[in-house]
Amino acid sequence: MDRIVIKDLCARCIIGVNQDERREKQDVTISLSIFSDLSKPGQSDCFDDAIDYRGVKKRVLAMVENSKFFLIEALAEAIAEICLATSGVQKVRVRIDKPSALRFAKSVGVIIIRKGRS
């Protein structure tokens, strides 16, 4: 299936279960694979036939930066819902990395894949 890829979108949010994680925003990195049939916009070269990935990015960032989830799993689900609510999106793969989660590790992350209701 065709896909649009948004890689390493940086955001800051309250995320985590420890008290120190709940006080200040932390960095998270988000990567999305948005699955859709891209043949129509590919042939027409018309924006109206395409998925507005800039709009998706704006909605995701607005939600993330105002969120206060305890788990990155829950944050990933909320991001997937935003993507799947976009017309033409059939499936989404969401990866979230939390760079400061573990000492001696570059990051800790989750990957989820969700399908639209069709």
Active site residues: 98
* Distance of alpha carbon 64 from alpha carbon 59, whole angstroms: 9
**Radius of gyration for the chain, computed over Cα atoms and rounded to the nearest angstrom:** 15
* Cross-strand partners of 116: none
User: Which residue, chain included where needed, has tokens 């990395």?
Assistant: 97
DSSP 67-105: -EES-HHHHHHHHHHHHHTSTT--EEEEEEEETTSSTTS
